[in-house]
Structure 1
């Protein structure tokens, strides 16, 4: 017999403050609004589940001026629903209830209810990251900025023991970016350091291939989203001719027909950001389709706080991938929630000796 319960939902808003000017090809970020979703059973209020709804500026389908009232209205509606104790039933119900166009809200509710089902201990799934304290390899992220700032970050990541470096490019002069890659390669061979690049769609389809040829000289493992999303014909051609592997990122956002995209473009890799692509169930669907086509994938956080990062880390852990994931964003903010998540020597770890700070 399946148990059912009527849960109550609320949220807390926090404006996270970056420790530095976080540069992307779409501009510089200084703050980030996140909404922590709380759920509990009124008959047993001491156990709470927490999730995170955090639309990313100018990128999330649900980044909109009325996001907060929309979130509040949906949570009021969720207060009227009856929930089964089966996790898969919860995920399927939320897929039916929360529009595809509100991916961060769906992800926040998925995480909150699954956390509650698991006792409110920030355990979202059965997974080795949380249960066996197995660390996950991650890449060290180099943010865009002037040459000196990027060099400083590179030196810091290398000294911290990262063996996979991801560098955002496309914001400064291409020649300076080439010089930075040359600096890395002059010190570390491809066997020592894996290089990933993220262009965030900054290249023009007209000169993208020539730039990829130049970048390939530095033995780059992959480049994310070299040209803007939506140019499927040009992206397909790039994936056919590229001298280095292409990973689709923004291209996946807002896409309902996953098979059509993968069949038409045939990328080497895809990047999965649950907050942006529809949450846990949608992420798992992308993984299944990619694996069926021998397309590589890895998971990346989208500047969430530690609540969202914890959920994504546990989701990634289910698949036990040895490929470095993009989960090193926990130290970006001055006022992130204190948590057991630790980044050391190129891995993210769950340290149960550190107590979660209460969001309230």
Structure 2
């Protein structure tokens, strides 16, 4: 009786060209980890390892080979998993330099402990008793494309809109924000923007002043990560609350998390389990943020519905009233069918909709 792990590679195809400050995405590779007891292989947990190209620290050409090696090593250890030893396995068996793999294995083991039914956390969301507010994401592109997205999100009933900025002319991006504010006050529609580090240090203060005219809730990562001193100064003087995102990647130790947050003192942090190394790592960030009275919300990182389901259930473990960044399940032509539904700016679990894992072909 021991745990075994196998994986399947699957390519997700975007419904449109998804623009970011790091380029345009048309497809995304994900790796699905299946963990089961060797004596009962029909019951299994499922997790998703999906590093983001150009951003994840485990985005590397040999990722698939490394994942194979991690699975082979895992399979030799004759492990069993229980609530008391899960974190020991995550800390001592898995390589922290592969945060997306830690997230995938953690999800799969939690799923297995809950009966292998994609119920990663047994809470009100997983039992279809609670919905979560989410933001509607407007991707980068030309002005007309972004304007169409804005109209679609407003018509769909979203009360929080998040817009990617930094790709087209700044004045045109301001025009799009002004378009929303002409019809909706800050009390009616919450506006967030995400710069993905696109602003230079020379221009960021003036751009933040300009953006403040549109009564924004927050701006994610206005400058590139890695300049803690300048970011700390910016967070003290900014007219728009700042949320750290990329800045958190690669910070693994509990004490380093606290040190980073205390030095910069952002207004918010944004947590992506795929990028920071799973749920236990997120819990450490949340605990440190709470100690320093820093707000937070959770965001998916272009995972399929498998990863999104796990992240949404984890988010529901907390009583966080902020709209979460959990709307990415609608991005793909060929997403894994799941019980997740989005309606009127809320995500929920609809047990009438079944999982369909047939597209996943696992290596045996």
TM-score band (shorter)? over 0.9
Structure 2: runs of 5+ lacking an equivalent: none
Q: Unmatched 5+ residue regions in structure 1? A: none
Query: 1:296/1:215 Cα in 2 relative to 1: closer, same or farther (>3 Å)?
Result: same
**1:245-284 Cα shifts (integer Å, max 9, x gaps):** 0000000001131011101101000000000001111011
Partner residue of 1:106 out of 85, 102, 110:
102
Q: Give the match for residue 258 of structure 2.
A: 259
> Per-residue CA shift, 1:14-43, capped at 9, x if unaligned?
011100000000100011000000011121
Supply the distance in 2 between the matched residues of 1:10 and 1:132 (Cα, whole angstroms). 30
2:2: which partner in 1? 6
| Residue pair 1:107, 1:279 contacting (<8 A) in 2 also | yes
CA distance in 1, matches of 2:85, 2:271: 23
Tell me the equivalent position of 1:58: 54
Q: What is the 5 A alignment of 1:63-74? A: 63-74=59-70
How far apart in 1 are the matches of 2:243 and 2:309?
24
| 2:178 counterpart (155, 179, 182) | 182
Would you say the 8 A contact 1:145–1:171 is kept in 2?
Answer: yes
Say which is worse superposed, 12-21 or 40-49, in terms of deviation. Answer: 40-49
CA RMSD across the alignment: 1.0
Change (3 A) 1:82 1:90: farther
Aligned position for 1:277: 276
Match of 1:323 in 2: 322
2: CA distance, partners of 1:81 / 1:23? 43
- CA drift of 1:99 comes to 2.0
Q: Verify: 1:173 aligned to 2:169, yes or no.
A: yes
Following the alignment from structure 1 to structure 2, what is the Cα–Cα distance between the partners of residues 54 and 319? 24
Distance in 1 between the 2:243 and 2:145 partners? 26
Equivalent runs, 1:6-45 vs 2, <5 Å: 6-45=2-41
Q: 1:87 aligns to what?
A: 83
Q: Could you list the per-position Cα deviations for residues 89-140 of structure 1 after superposition, in whole angstroms to 9, with x for gaps in the alignment?
A: 2133212222221000000000111111111100111221102431110000
**Does structure 2 retain, via aligned residues, the 8 Å contact 1:168–1:198?**
yes
Q: After alignment, is 84-93 or 264-273 more displaced?
A: 84-93
Residue pair 1:341, 1:348 contacting (<8 A) in 2 also: yes
- Whether contact under 8 Å (1:83, 1:90) holds in the other structure is no
| Cα contact 1:133–1:351 (8 A) shared by 2 | no
Shift of 1:84: 4.2
**Aligned equivalent of 2:298:** 299
Q: Is the 8 A contact 2:33 2:49 kept in 1?
A: yes
